Structure 1
Amino acid sequence: MKIPVAGVELDAWHITGADELVRPAGRPVVVMAHGLGGTKDSGLAPFAEGLAKGGLDVLVFDYRGFGESGGSPRQRVDLPGQVDDYRAAMAAAVRLPGVDPDRLVLWGVSLGGGHVLAAAAHRADVAAIVALTPLVDGLAAGRLAARQHRPSALLRSAVAGVRSRVGGAMTMPVVARPGELGALTLPGHYEAYTALAGPTWRNEVDARIGLELGSHRPGRQARHVRAPLLVQIADFDRSAPPRASAKAAEAGRAEVRHYPCDHFDVWPGGDWFEPVLAHQLLFLRRHLTNR
């Protein structure tokens, strides 16, 4: 299906849920999107299918400029624009056939895990939120990266970002091996991310994201979230700082689940995927059953 936003169309999947949580008004509906540079065909389907089996409809979409969605320039991470994409998908989700508009759920992972906090802030029409290994503080993420990378690697990324901003779009890999230019270059990242990659995923992203991420702090919106919130933290996360996630969770009065693993270990094929999905279903059933 297609979702209009800002003069372009987002491409989305609608997966119909089982009848476990159906009410006269319909089933709950989850709006789901990826993290940095991700596409809906890159690891999201097992999450969506698991939630659908548990009784929830799921609307999975690509951000503008990524995957099968429209928009240009391509591969450009427009941080506020991606939050707007979530809001457009939310409006589309509650109009789907068989859906209960009063049981709208937001689901985000990594960069998307921060987006859902911003998208839900100050709103009374969101029934629940799931933020999986969320990136909620770009400044904290930058400090974490500075401790894990050589200064020369950070300088190369910064130079690429300046060139993109000043001289026109310049891309770099979303994920690369240690020592190479890329947004994610820690040991194991290349193998973990590319194992999830679907046919529409492209291993490139506008390099200016490295300059813009430092001012991206959606965790500040957590205190304005009214809906029940589940924050799932990978305690050894090398990409989304766990302490920042914990602070946002406290501000949002969240239920918190901890997993002794790294950022990508919660994805399909990882050791913690099944527990993560099970905890999401427990949380959502508890808050949606009697709503």
Structure 2
Amino acid sequence: MSIPDSPIHPAHPHFEVVREDLAFSSGSDRCDGWLYRPRTDGTHPCVVMAHGIGGIRSAALPEFATRFAAAGIAALTFDYRHSGTSGGVPRGLIDIRRQRADLRAALDYACGLDGVDPGRMALWGTSFGGGHVLATAAANPRIGAAIIQNPFVDGRAAAAAAMRSAGRVATYRLAVRALRDALRARRGRDPIYVDLVGEPGTVAIMTTRDARAGFEAILPPDPIGWEPAVAARIVLHLRSDRPATKADQVTCPLLVSVCDHDAIAPPDPAIRVAEEAPRGELSRYPIGHFDLFAGEWLNRVCADQIAFLRSNLIAVVQ
């Protein structure tokens, strides 16, 4: 299908964008995705995009992918296993290792697509997906550039922020549910679920003041396959997930787009990633976690990211 024109920085070329359905295997399951490509001849660089916790490919990612493709850079978006229209049971399972395996599988698949130059590949991740990208790009010579925005890169810092918004009682209840769910998983029983987003003080994965409204704002009118509740066991793994420790192993150009008022993914660890990565670059915006998904901030962030991708994936061969 053809995608309507999308505003991009006037200094960039503006191609017509076509979106194609695709599917690839990850483990024993299927991942569904979309490929956005410029309607032009020849081969193009490609950016593989990883969503955040509980995100599906129809939520917010089309706005970025369309702009990238309009600037001459193909973009592949996908649903992780256990979410969206992809396969995998139980539904609503968030597993860090599986999601990073899905990202690697998406990268492998994209490298073999007609019209995609496997020598000019990039990774892009938002929020939780930013941690996936950081871990995947570390010491990976296939990656020509990487972007992480409002990124989750330090589980300890994120857990401390989450506890402040949830409060002691809700945090305790969430931990109990997570432990019970982990025990059920060992016995092969159905998960115990917990809401993905909630108001401050409630039992949910994200409970900052902007969490519910922010997440609802990025969902499409018909969010096919979106799971409003997820298996509680992920809570037990978030604190120990610290992809920021791999920053010095990311040798490709890395753009870190930080929201200075981010209450979900604290900005300080992300800023240190940009400083510690050998070729790190930092862009800072005076906004909250969800503010870069719409309006003028979306345009500004996309323009900065397109300039970065063109500089590292297109200008080098011109």
Q: Same fold (TM over 0.5)?
A: yes
Matched length: 286
- Cα-Cα RMSD: 1.4
Equivalent positions of 1:102-181 (< 5 A) are 102-168=119-185, 169-181=191-203
Task: Quote the residue 2:245 is aligned against.
Answer: 220
Q: How far 1:18 sits from its partner (Å)?
A: 5.1
> What is the SS of the residue equivalent to 1:106?
strand
Say if 1:50 and 1:277, in contact at 8 Å, map to a contact too: yes
Task: Quote the residue 2:81 is aligned against.
Answer: 64
Task: Verify: 1:258 aligned to 2:258, yes or no.
Answer: no
Task: Verify: 1:236 aligned to 2:261, yes or no.
Answer: yes
Say if 2:123 and 2:147, in contact at 8 Å, map to a contact too: yes
Task: Quote the residue 2:236 is aligned against.
Answer: 211
Say if 1:17 and 1:58, in contact at 8 Å, map to a contact too: no
Give the TM-score taking structure 2 as reference length: 0.87
Give the TM-score taking structure 1 as reference length: 0.95
Task: Quote the residue 1:282 is aligned against.
Answer: 307
**Runs of 5+ in structure 1 lacking a partner?**
none
Aligned AA (2:170)? A
**Runs of 5+ in structure 2 lacking a partner?**
1-21, 186-190
Task: Quote the residue 1:187 is aligned against.
Answer: 209
How far apart in 2 are the matches of 1:268 and 1:160? 34
Aligned AA (2:26)? V
Q: How far 1:149 sits from its partner (Å)?
A: 3.1
Deviations along 1:202-238, one digit per CA (max 9) or x if unpaired, are: 2111111111101101111221112100000001110
Task: Quote the residue 2:8 is aligned against.
Answer: none
How far apart in 1 are the matches of 2:271 and 2:113? 34
Deviations along 1:98-143, one digit per CA (max 9) or x if unpaired, are: 1111000101000000100111111111110010111001111112
How far apart in 2 are the matches of 1:266 and 1:18? 27
How far apart in 1 are the matches of 2:210 and 2:152? 19
Q: How far 1:272 sits from its partner (Å)?
A: 1.6
How far apart in 1 are the matches of 2:153 and 2:304? 21
More strand by percentage: 2
How far apart in 1 are the matches of 2:92 and 2:294? 24
Q: How far 1:274 sits from its partner (Å)?
A: 1.1
Say if 2:33 and 2:76, in contact at 8 Å, map to a contact too: yes
Task: Quote the residue 2:16 is aligned against.
Answer: none
Say if 1:84 and 1:119, in contact at 8 Å, map to a contact too: no
